Amino acid sequence: MSGHPAKPVPAQHRVTTGAECEVEQMVAGIDAVVFVCMPVDPESIKPGLTKALRSVSDSRIKSDEMQRQVSLGNPTVSLEETMVAMQKSQIGFQATLQVRNRLVQAYSDIMNMSV
């Protein structure tokens, strides 16, 4: 290994990972909740949500790659940096999960209201 970070693969040449599929599913689910719960156009919220979810997904992919590099014995990737990346990824995922749960709860509350 040369020690240089890997170059990003263009989107049209990438294989979709499980994390990316999860992001797509979460965006679709959140879109449905936002449409019902928010008095604003869902399309105005979608870019921000998508960006946040992509950031969480990218963090997870980065930590997975760092774990792989450490397990392969790559001397340019430290165990400490890997552990920090894993914790950042876990915190981002937990925060995203909490937002999703609150949106789903709001949706459920609205659907259970009597009109």
Domain chopping of the chain, boundaries: 17-112
Sorted by sequence, the CB contacts under 8 Å of residue 62 that are 6+ apart come out as 85, 89
The predicted model scores a pTM of 0.59
List, for residues 96-112, the tens digit of each pLDDT value. 999 889 988 988 888 88
Sorted by sequence, the CB contacts under 8 Å of residue 86 that are 6+ apart come out as 63, 66, 67
Residue 40 CA to residue 59 CA, distance in Å, equals 29
List, for residues 37-70, the tens digit of each pLDDT value. 555 666 777 888 888 889 999 999 999 999 999 9
